[in-house]
Amino acid sequence: MSVKPSTGFGLRPVKPSRSVDKGAEAWRIGAPLQAVKDELLHLGAQLQGILTSSVAAVVTEALGTVRKQYSQIAVIGQIKAGKSSLINALVRRPGLLPTDVNPWTAVVTRLHFARPGQAESGALFSFFDGDEWRRLAAGGGKLKELTERLAPGYEEDQLRRHLREMQRQTEFRLGKHFQHLLGKSHWYEKPTAEIIERYVCSGSLQEELLTEPAAGRFADITKTADMFFGADPFIYPATVIDTPGTNDPLLIRDEVTLRNIERADVYIVVLTARQPLTSADLALLRVLHGLQKNRIIVFINRIDDAGDIVSEIRASVTGVRQVLKREFPNSEIPVVAGSAFWANSALDISQANIDHVWTEQLVEYANHLGVMQPGEPAYFGGHALPEERLAEILYACSGLTQLAGLISKLMLRGASGYWLSRLASTLQAAAESSTASARNELKSLNEMLNTVQENASLTEELADITAEIERLRKLAAQVDQFLNTLEQELKYETSENLSILAEQLEGDIRAFGSHQGHLLRIAWAESSGRPRWRCETNVLRNRLEEDVLNAFWAAETRLVDAQRRAAPELKRILQEAAPELDFGLVPTSLLSFNLTPSLAPLSRTSALDLDDAWWAHRWKTDRSLDENVLAIEQLIYSEFGPMARELADSAGVELQKYVASAIQRFFTICSSVVKIIIDREQMLAEACKSLMSAESSAASKSVVMEQEEQITKIRNRISSGEELSRRLSAFMTRYAALTADEQRAAG
Amino acid sequence: MLSRLRRSREALAPAAAQSPSVTVALRALRRLEARLTQLPRVVVLGEFNSGKSSLVNVLLGSDFIPGPITRRGRIPVLIRYSSQPALVAVDANGGRTQVDAEALSQWRGAPLSRVEAGLPSPVLRRIEILDLPGAAHPTHDIGDLPAKASRNAHIAIWCTSATQAWKGSELRSWLALSERLRPYSLLAATHKDRLRVETDCEKVYLRLRKEAAPFFRNVVLVSSLKAKQARDGALNVVEPVLWRESGVDVFQANLADSVLAFTVLREQAAAQAAQRIALRLLKRLQDSQDSTDGAALAAAWLRQAEAMASRVSLENVRDMAVLQEVARVIQGFGTGVLEPWLRQRGWNEASARLLNLFRCDLAMIASAIDGLPPQAAVRRVHGALRQLHGELSDALSTQTFQASASNVALADVRQLLQPLLEAGKAA
C-alpha cells in the first residue's frame, strides 16, 4: 500500500503530544542554528537603535540576507533504500511521500518548511520542457554522451528501445494534452495523497495491476515537485529534497538526481542494512565527497530487515565505518543505523500495524540499546505494553533521534552558517565605527561647551569647525581613493593567483593522464589486451581538489597580507582625521568567516567513471595498445580539462567576492566614520550658530543644556556600542568554537 | 542422442585404419559425446548478500555452503555429486588438497582459486552448481570472475534481493556476461519473506517481468528462510503452506525447465554438429581418393620415367643392359602399380588399353632403335618414355576410373554415418 488512508494524507505533522517526544523534543531539527540566528538578529536590532542611517542601511541589508536563508537537506541513495520513508519519518508525516515495494519516486521532490516569503501549504509540479523531453527521448541523456565517449558505437539497444517505448506510452496516455503540458507547471492549494502520487510516482510500470490508473499519470514528464509546509518539525527554515534512486536500471533519472543536489547543506546518504555500501554506493559517495566532504551523513536504513539483528547491525556499522575510513581518510563521516519503518510505525501506531513491527528482533535490539526497562514485558501478539510505550521504544530504536541531532549539527556548517558569520562580522564593524564616531562627536561637543564656558569667541570656534569640515571632506576623498587603489591591488593579486592555479590544474591532468597510460601499458602486458585496469579518477579528483584549495588558501593569505600592509596607512589617514581617537580597532586581518570555492564541477560524472561493462566493451574494439593509451590520455584531458577550468573560475568568483567584501568592510569602518564625523561637525556648526545668535544668556543656557543632554545620549551610545562589540566578539568566539567542535565531533 | 552417437562412433572405429580423416572424425565425435555426458553447470551469481548461498543450500537440501568461510575467502565453490561428502581445496597453481571444513576455515596454504565439494544430494545427479562470491562488494572486488566462470557454465541464476531488486549495476553486470546464457537463466528475487504482503510480491514480480524479462528465461520470487522452516531434516515438507509461500517449489520447477530446455537444445546442437562431422568426413574421403588417383599416379610415373631417361646417354644407348633396365621399369610400373590401381577401380576397355601401353620388352626397344645413329636412338628412348607419360595423363584425365574397391569402404562409412546425417536433419 502506498498510502495508509487511516492517517489522512499525512500532510499534517503528527502532533508532538505523543510520548515519543519526551526527551526535550530531540526530534526537532535546526535548533542550534536557529539559536545562533536569533541571538544575532537580536544583537542586530539593538545595534540599529544606535546607528546612524548610512551604517544602518548596510546592517539592514545584512540582516535581510540572513532572514532569507534556509538549509537544504538532500536525501540520496540507491533505488529502494527507503529514502522517501526516511523523509516521512524525519518530517514526522507518515504517508506523506508515497512509497512502494518497487522503485516509486520518479521525480525530485522538494519539501519546503517555513521558507521565508513562501506559502505554508500547497504543491507545485513542474514539467520537463520540450528540449529536455527530447533529450531524454534520445536515450539516456548525459549517460549516452558519456558512453559514446568511452566506448564509441556501443548501444544497449534493448534498453534504449525500452526507454523509447516508455516515452511513447506516456505521449499516448496524455494524448492531446501532451504537447500542451511540456514546460508548464501545476499548482494545488491543498494537495491530496492521490494528487501527489499522480505526479511523483513511476506509475507506468504498474498499470496492468492498478485499480487506480491515475498514479504516476504525469510522473514521466514531471521534472520537480515542490511542496510547502509550516515550520514543524524544523526550527530553522529548511528544504528537504527527496530524489529518485540512483543505480536505476532505467538509467534515466540518475542525471536528474545529481543535477538537483549540487548545493545542499546536508547530504543524507541512505544505505540498506542488507547490502551496506555496495560499489555503487561508494561511487556515489566519492562523487559527493568531492563536492562536500563535511556535509555527509550515512544512514543505514532498514535494520528491521536484518536477520540476526544485533550482530548483523554491528558488523554493518563497523564495516561501513572501516570502508569510509579507508576511502576518505581525511574526513569523518558520521554513520547512523536505523529504520524509517519503525519510526513511521511509532508515529502512526495502531493495533493494525503493530503486529508487523513488534518482532523478536525489535525487542532484542531494544534490549541491546538499553531502551527496554528491566523487567518490562515484551509479549508478542497480545502486547503487554501500552501503545504509547511501544511507540516510544520503536522510535528510540529507529535511529531518527540521532539522525535529527546530526542534521542539526551539520546545518551549522552550511550556507546559512556562512551568512550568519558574515552578518556577525558586519555587525561588529558597524558597532566599532559607531563607537568611534560617537567618541569623536563627544570630543567636539565638549570642546564647544568649554568654549562657551570660557567665554571664548564662538566665531573663532565656528571658523575652526568649518575648517575642520573642509579638511575632513578632503580626507574622505583620500580614503575613497585609497580604498580604490587597494581594491585594484587586491584584484591584481587575485588574477595572478588564478592564472597560476589554472596552469597547475592542467599540469595535474597531464601528469595523471600519462601515469594512467603507463599503468594501462603494464596491465595490458599482463593480460594480452583485456586489461583489468580501471582509470581511478578519484585520485585525480582528490589531487585537483587539493590544489584548488591550497591555491585558494594561499591566495587568501596573500590578500590578507595585502590588507595588513594597507592597514597602517589607512590608520595614519584616519588619525589625521581625528588624532586623539583610538583607531586600534581597525582590523589587521579582515575575514573571520571561512570561504571555500565551489568544488561542484568535480562531482560531475565523467566518461571514465562508467562501470566495468563499458570498459570491457572498449577493449573489445581492435585498437592497438598505443592507440588505446593515446585515446585514454586524450579522454582524460577532454573530460577533466573543462572541470579544471570551471574550478579555477569558481575559485576566481569566490576570491572576487572576498575582495568585494573586504573592501566593503573597510568602507563601512573608515569611510563611514569620516562621513559621520563630517555630519556631526555640521551639526556642531549649527549649534555654534544658534549659540551665537542667542542674545540672552538664558537662551544660551538652554542651548548648552540641550548640548549636555546630547552629550549624555552620546555617552549612552558609546557604552551600548562598546557593550554590543563585547557581546559580538564573545559570540564570534563561541560560534567559532561551536563549528570547530562540530567538525571534530562529526565522527 | 548420446547412445546413437556412441553406436555410430563405435561402428566407425575399425575404419580408422583406412584413413586419418576417420580418426579426426572419431575424435570430434568423442568430444561431442563428452560434452553431452557433462552435467549442465548452473552458476549462481549476484551482488553480495543477495542470498546466493542460502538459495544453493535450499537446492542442496542441506546447510552445506560454509557461508562464513567462502564469504571471507571470496572463493567460488563448485559442487558436484559424490556418494560421500568431500571437500577439495584447489589453489591458484592447480594443486588439489583434500580438506574438511575445519581445515578449510584455517587454510594457510597457497591462495585458493576454488573449492570443490562433493555431496550426495539428489539434485546434483542432474546438475552441478558453481556458487560465486558476491559482486559489488566495497572491499572485495571479484573483477571478471563472473565472466570467466560463466564461460564454462550453461545456466545462470542471478540472485537479487526482493526488497531492492534489479538495480542498474546488476543489469549492467548481467549484460556483460555471454548472451548464450540468457535463454536458460533465471532471475531469483530472494528474501521474499521480507515483502510483508502478498500484493507486494505480485508488484515486484510484475516489475521484474517487465524490466528483466528480455534477459532471462523467467523470474521467480523465493524465500530460503521459509523453505528451510517448511522442511524437516529428511527434506520432507512438513509445513505445506510455508513451503508454497517460500516459492522454492516454483523455483525448482523453473530450474528443471531450464535444465530441460538446455538439454534439449544441447542435443539438437550436438545432432547438428554430428551431421557436420559426418558430412565433413565423407567429403574428406571422397577428396582424398580423387586427388591421389589421377594426378598422383601420372606424377609417380613421370618421376620414374625421368630418372630412367637421365640414365640413357649417347655412350650407353646401345648397351643391352641399359635397355633391359628401361624395359623393366616400364613393365614394372605397368604390372606393379598401374594394373592393381586399375583393377581396384573396376576393369574396363579403357583400363586394358592403358595397361597395354606398358606391355614393353627389350626386343621392342631394340627393334625401335635399330639402325638409328646414337643421337637419334637416345632421342627415341627419351621420347618413348615421355610419350608414355603423356598417354597416361591423357587417359587418366579423360577416362573415368571408378574406385570400386574403396567405393565399398566409402559406402560403408556413409551407411554408418546415416543416423548422424539424419539426426542433423531432424534437428
DSSP A143-200: HHHHHHHHSTT---HHHHHHHHHHHHHHHHHHTTHHHHHTT-EEEESS--HHHHHHHH
Main-chain phi, psi angles of B220, to 5 degrees: -135, 140
- Using an 8 Å Cβ cutoff, are B294 and B354 in contact? no
User: The C-alpha cell of B131 is what?
Assistant: 556458487
Statement: residue B157 has pLDDT above 90: yes
Query: Which pLDDT belongs to residue A230?
Result: 92
Q: Which residue has the higher pLDDT, A498 or A290?
A: A498
Statement: residue A24 has pLDDT above 60: no
pTM over cut 0.90? no
Strands A222-229 and A123-127: antiparallel
| Nearest-CA distance A223 → chain B (Å) | 21
Query: Which pLDDT belongs to residue A268?
Result: 95
- Using an 8 Å Cβ cutoff, are B207 and A205 in contact? yes
Please report which confidence band the pLDDT of residue A271 belongs to, taking 50, 70 and 90 as the band edges. very high
- Is the ipTM above a cut-off of 0.90? no
Please report which confidence band the pLDDT of residue A381 belongs to, taking 50, 70 and 90 as the band edges. low
Flag whether residue B166 sits within 8 Å of chain A, measured between CB atoms: yes
Query: Which pLDDT belongs to residue A698?
Result: 65
Please report which confidence band the pLDDT of residue A317 belongs to, taking 50, 70 and 90 as the band edges. very high
Interchain pair A78, B167: CB under 8 A: yes
Largest CA distance in chain B: 119
Place of cell 528501445: A161
- Residue B212 with chain A: CB contacts under 8 Å: 249
Interchain pair B173, A612: CB under 8 A: yes
Query: Which pLDDT belongs to residue B266?
Result: 92
Largest CA distance in chain A: 111
* Residue A2: strand, helix, or coil: coil
- Mean pLDDT for chain B overall: 84
Interchain pair B167, A612: CB under 8 A: no
Please report which confidence band the pLDDT of residue B112 belongs to, taking 50, 70 and 90 as the band edges. confident
Statement: residue A585 has pLDDT above 50: no
Interchain pair B138, A275: CB under 8 A: no
Say how many Å lie between the first and final Cα of chain B, rounded: 11
* Residue A119: strand, helix, or coil: coil
Please report which confidence band the pLDDT of residue A113 belongs to, taking 50, 70 and 90 as the band edges. very high
Query: How many residues does the structure list for chain B?
Result: 427
Query: Which pLDDT belongs to residue A216?
Result: 65
Among the listed ranges A33-47, A250-264, A422-436, B319-333, which one has the minimum average pLDDT value?
A250-264
pLDDT tens-digit readout, A87-96? 999 999 998 9
pLDDT tens-digit readout, A207-262? 444 444 455 677 778 888 999 999 989 999 999 999 888 877 765 555 556 666 66
- Using an 8 Å Cβ cutoff, are A379 and A354 in contact? no
- Residue A611 with chain B: CB contacts under 8 Å: 169, 172
Q: How far apart are CA B390 and CA B298, in angstroms?
A: 9
Statement: residue A15 has pLDDT above 70: no
Among the listed ranges A501-505, A526-530, A548-552, which one has the minimum average pLDDT value?
A526-530
Statement: residue A7 has pLDDT above 50: no
Q: How far apart are CA A113 and CA B230, in angstroms?
A: 50
- Using an 8 Å Cβ cutoff, are B285 and B415 in contact? no
Query: Which pLDDT belongs to residue A307?
Result: 73
Question: What chain B residue is nearest to A306 in terms of C-alpha separation?
Answer: B194
**Cα separation values, B96 from A277, B105, B312, Å:** 35, 16, 72
- Using an 8 Å Cβ cutoff, are A110 and A229 in contact? no
Among the listed ranges A597-611, B34-48, B301-315, which one has the minimum average pLDDT value?
A597-611
Strand order in the sheet with B112-119: B96-99, B86-91, B112-119, B77-81, B128-131, B41-46, B155-161, B186-190, B218-221
CA dihedral B303, B308, B311, B316 (to 10 degrees): -160
Query: Which pLDDT belongs to residue A592?
Result: 43
Flag whether residue B151 sits within 8 Å of chain A, measured between CB atoms: no
Query: Which pLDDT belongs to residue A17?
Result: 42
Q: Which residue has the higher pLDDT, A126 or A471?
A: A126
Say how many Å lie between the first and final Cα of chain A, rounded: 37
Query: Which pLDDT belongs to residue A590?
Result: 43
| Nearest-CA distance A274 → chain B (Å) | 7
The set of residues, in sequence order, having a beta carbon less than 8 Å from that of A591 and lying 6+ positions away, is A425, A556, A560, A658, A661, A662
Strands B155-161 and B186-190: parallel
Query: Which of B260, B259, B268 lies closest to B129 in space, CA to CA?
Result: B259
Strands B86-91 and B96-99: antiparallel
Query: Which pLDDT belongs to residue A455?
Result: 59
Query: Which pLDDT belongs to residue B320?
Result: 85
Query: Which pLDDT belongs to residue B18?
Result: 65
pLDDT tens-digit readout, B351-374? 888 888 888 888 888 888 888 888
Query: Which pLDDT belongs to residue A62?
Result: 84
- Residue A156 with chain B: CB contacts under 8 Å: 175
Query: Which pLDDT belongs to residue B218?
Result: 95
| Nearest-CA distance B43 → chain A (Å) | 19
Average pLDDT over residues A722-734: 88
Q: How far apart are CA A202 and CA A591, in angstroms?
A: 49
Among A103, A158, A279, beta carbon nearest to B214: A158
Q: Which residue has the higher pLDDT, A599 or A326?
A: A326
Q: Which residue has the higher pLDDT, B92 or A746?
A: B92
Among the listed ranges A299-303, A501-505, A689-693, B134-138, which one has the minimum average pLDDT value?
A689-693
Interchain pair A274, B200: CB under 8 A: no
Strand partners, B80: B118
Among B203, B211, B212, beta carbon nearest to A209: B203
CA dihedral A248, A251, A255, A258 (to 10 degrees): 20
pLDDT tens-digit readout, A337-372? 999 999 999 998 877 677 778 888 888 899 899 888
Place of cell 508454497: B244
User: The C-alpha cell of A334 is what?
Assistant: 558520521
Distance of CA A455 to the CA centre of its chain: 64
Flag whether residue B202 sits within 8 Å of chain A, measured between CB atoms: yes
Main-chain phi, psi angles of A9, to 5 degrees: -105, 10
- Mean pLDDT for chain A overall: 78
H or E element in which residue A228 lies? strand A222-229
Question: What chain B residue is nearest to A158 in terms of C-alpha separation?
Answer: B214
Q: Please state, as a whole number, how many other Cβ atoms lie within 10 Å of the Cβ of residue A148.
A: 14
- Using an 8 Å Cβ cutoff, are B300 and B337 in contact? yes
Query: Which pLDDT belongs to residue A545?
Result: 83
Strands A222-229 and A296-301: unpaired
Please report which confidence band the pLDDT of residue A55 belongs to, taking 50, 70 and 90 as the band edges. confident
The set of residues, in sequence order, having a beta carbon less than 8 Å from that of A295 and lying 6+ positions away, is A264, A265, A266, A267, A410, A413, A414
Q: How far apart are CA A290 and CA A609, in angstroms?
A: 14
| Nearest-CA distance B214 → chain A (Å) | 8
Statement: residue B297 has pLDDT above 90: no
Query: Which pLDDT belongs to residue A548?
Result: 87
pLDDT tens-digit readout, B176-187? 888 899 999 999
* Residue B12: strand, helix, or coil: helix
Statement: residue B68 has pLDDT above 60: no
Statement: residue A586 has pLDDT above 70: no
Strand partners, A234: A29
DSSP letter for each residue of A649-717: HHHHHHHHHHHHHHHHHHIIIIIHHHHHHHHHHHHHHHHHHHHHH--SHHHHHHHHHHHHHHHHHHHHH
Mutate to test the interface with B, among A4, A79, A101, A344 (most CBs of B within 10 A): A101
Among the listed ranges A181-190, B187-196, B294-303, which one has the minimum average pLDDT value?
B294-303
* Residue B172: strand, helix, or coil: helix
Q: How far apart are CA A200 and CA A193, in angstroms?
A: 11
DSSP letter for each residue of B225-287: HHHHHHB-TT--BS-HHHHHHHTHHHHHHHHHHHHHHHHHHHHHHHHHHHHHHHHHHHHHHHH
